[in-house]
Structure 1
Amino acid sequence: FILFLPLNLYEIIFHYIEKKWQLFIIMMIPIIFTEESIRMTYGLIVTFSFIVLTMAERYISRVLKLESQNDKMRKDMQRLTKSLNENKEYIKQSEYTFKLEERNRLSQEIHDKIGHSMTGALIQMEAAKRLMGIDKEKSAELLQNAIHISKDGIESIRVTLKNMKPPTEQIGIHRMKLFIEEFAGKHDINIPFVYKGNLDMISPIQWKIIGENVTEALTNAMKYADATVISIDIHVLNKMVKVQVKDNGKGATLVKKGLGMMGMEERTASVNGKIIVDGTSGFSVTMLLPI
């Protein structure tokens, strides 16, 4: 019985003692009361049991830790999968919204320009019809006016159809400039904006993501950076678009990703892009979007 005592002691008290060397000493205490003939055997059993059980405990602890990490990774994977599916839906909705905006602009332009022209021509022709038997000269003049108005309307239709889909870069860069000017004026801060390369390579959904990420980056800079200048640079390279928002603020030695930063990463990842943050000299957020 005495030879199995080390195992029993270990199982009973190892939960209550943090320092393992103390546990080893307690396991060795019964050696004082054992017969001299088995003391060496008891000591060897204690030593062997202590080593084996300690290693087993560490192994079990590592296994439990790995299982916990696997559970966390599994939950993260599920969350990312859900987020990716939501981003796909977000892309579809964004493209649909972009088309609706363009359609509304076109409808308004047709109503304002062409509708008024055609209405004017119709009024002139109705008047000419009524005067045809009374005053042919006046009737001919009204018809000529109606013809000119109709020609102008047809030309307006041609120009409108030609410009039905304005270059993407004009829409994207115009909105970006307008937003930066409004933001700088509202917050009284200097925001230099530089862009170069073929902006037509940037798709509508990329412009939308760039706009939302730039908005988030500027908002964070105003909250945390204590900056006086926030520069924005858009550079279209051969195979990617590089967008950088950089401030001259206090920076950050340890970058903590909040919901805003995670949202930027998720939006960028939805188009197979990447976000790089750097807090060593001021704070910068760089987006890399594949073309």
Structure 2
Amino acid sequence: MLFDANTRLIKVIATIALLYVLYKEFTNQVFEAVIGFSLIILLYFVLLWARETWLSGVKYAVISLLILAIELILNDVYGITDAALLWPLVWILATVYDKYKYLSSILALLTIVVFICISRPVTFTAPLILVGLFIVVLIRKIWKNAYRMKELHLQEINKAHQELKEAHAELQEATMNSMKYAALEERIRLAREIHDGLGHQLTSLIIQLQALEIMLPDEPKKASEVTTQLLQIARQAMAEVRFSVREWSSDEMGLGIIALKGLVSQIQGRSPIKFNFVQESKISEWPNETSIVLYRTLQESLTNILRHSNATSVTIHLQEVNDEIILKVSDNGDYVNEVPLKAGFGLNGMIERCQQHGGTCTFTSAKPHGLCIEITLPIEKRSHHDIHNP
């Protein structure tokens, strides 16, 4: 907008200057000469104020040649040697250089030649100044276009950055929803196990307690044996309760380890591969960003195994050591150390994601064959209570 305002101001100043030159310098000429100079001024008005969409290279060439032709006619017929009205033409041709490079240069050169031909006395100072004017206007035009391109590029970068931020936020939200779904599915699975396992044992315990009540008066010895069985059932039920409580309390936010387990359970449900999730240490609550990185990298690891490994079993090891989370995913697939690992978009994405959060992601061969992916992430902040190893 600033450049547009400046351009309009320059056009107004140029128009006033042309009218002033016509009135001051050429009104004392013969009538035919005044008509010729007026026609030149009119042609300049067309160049200055016509819409850019209307003007074209051909029209610039025709109008410029008409101006030069009138100047030559006035010089030849009336002996007029004042070429002051050629100066604006050099300026105008320089302003359209970016659109019509060769045409603008040729017409400007032709204008300078005509200027030399009709000017008296002959001097090279004015033509050099004309060349300098063309170069100065051209440099200003180039700088103006560069500034516009810079502003446009900056706007595009800002727009792309905003779109990237929105896409990242949407991706984070989608990941969070996926993790919540996985955690919910894992909780439903645990609830089902409690219902099926603990419910069955409690039912059996109730039935045998009812039988024990009948046996006590008549068969005290057999009742003692039944009591032992009942204690065993009760201990099994208690073990089920403790395991389930540990599973439920492993992640109070529902976005950490329970989401990882839920992801493994989801994939296990649609794959013949046997998955084994091993928690090797106490686990603390993780920040959402850390949980998302672990979830996404585990998801990509398991997806890569399903697509390329031909594995029959996968083991996931998770532990916290020295304020770091270590996640290892090992399979018994086809990969052997002799074959160079070609990291595609997914594996490279895992590496970059871990590095962005101050961690690492490495790939080694498993024995005797298969791939081991080890992800290490720092724990940004720990909760006040840890979850004991099951």
Question: How would you bin the TM-score normalised by the shorter chain?
Answer: 0.5 to 0.7
d(CA) in 1 for partners of 2:327 and 2:204? 50
Q: Does 1:137 align with 2:212?
A: no
Indicate the structure (1 or 2) with the bigger Cα radius of gyration.
2
Match for residue 193 of structure 2?
109
Matched position secondary structure for 1:37:
coil
Q: Deviations over 1:159-193 (max 9, x none)?
A: 234333357889969x88xx8xx99x9xxxxxxxx
d(CA) in 1 for partners of 2:321 and 2:103? 60
Q: 231, 234, 242: which is aligned to 1:162?
A: 242
Q: Does 1:248 align with 2:332?
A: no
Structure 2 letter corresponding to 1:212: Q
d(CA) in 1 for partners of 2:107 and 2:322? 66
Q: 290, 296, 303: which is aligned to 1:209?
A: 296
d(CA) in 1 for partners of 2:217 and 2:358? 74
Match for residue 163 of structure 2?
79
Structure 2 letter corresponding to 1:16: Y
Q: 131, 139, 142: which is aligned to 1:58?
A: 142
Structure 1 letter corresponding to 2:218: E
Change (3 A) 1:107 1:99: same
- 2:282–2:320: 8 Å Cα contact kept in structure 1? yes
Q: CA deviation at 1:79?
A: 1.6
d(CA) in 1 for partners of 2:127 and 2:209? 120
Match for residue 58 of structure 2?
none
Q: CA deviation at 1:287?
A: 7.5
Change (3 A) 1:262 1:57: farther
Q: Deviations over 1:262-281 (max 9, x none)?
A: 97699x38x9627999xxxx
d(CA) in 1 for partners of 2:160 and 2:359? 19
Q: CA deviation at 1:120?
A: 1.6
d(CA) in 1 for partners of 2:282 and 2:137? 66
Match for residue 173 of structure 2?
89
Q: Deviations over 1:43-101 (max 9, x none)?
A: 13322212211211221221122122212212222122213322442453244234324
Structure 1 letter corresponding to 2:148: L
Unpaired segments of 5 or more residues in structure 2? 1-84, 251-255, 274-279, 309-317, 330-336, 362-372, 380-390
Change (3 A) 1:49 1:80: same
Q: Deviations over 1:217-242 (max 9, x none)?
A: 7799x6xxxxxxxxxxx998867669
Matched position secondary structure for 2:124:
helix
Q: CA deviation at 1:154?
A: 3.2
d(CA) in 2 for partners of 1:244 and 1:48? 71
Q: Deviations over 1:115-155 (max 9, x none)?
A: 112212222344456x57xx94259846963x445433432
Q: CA deviation at 1:28?
A: 2.8
Q: 85, 110, 133: which is aligned to 1:49?
A: 133
Q: CA deviation at 1:32?
A: 3.8
How many residues are aligned here?
246
How large is the Cα RMSD of the aligned pairs? 5.3
- 2:90–2:130: 8 Å Cα contact kept in structure 1? yes
Unpaired segments of 5 or more residues in structure 1? 186-196, 223-233, 253-257, 278-284
- 1:94–1:205: 8 Å Cα contact kept in structure 2? no
- 1:264–1:275: 8 Å Cα contact kept in structure 2? no
Q: Does 1:152 align with 2:236?
A: no
Match for residue 67 of structure 2?
none
d(CA) in 2 for partners of 1:128 and 1:205? 53
- 2:186–2:258: 8 Å Cα contact kept in structure 1? no
Percent identity of equivalent pairs: 19
TM-score, normalization: structure 1? Answer: 0.58
- 1:98–1:204: 8 Å Cα contact kept in structure 2? no
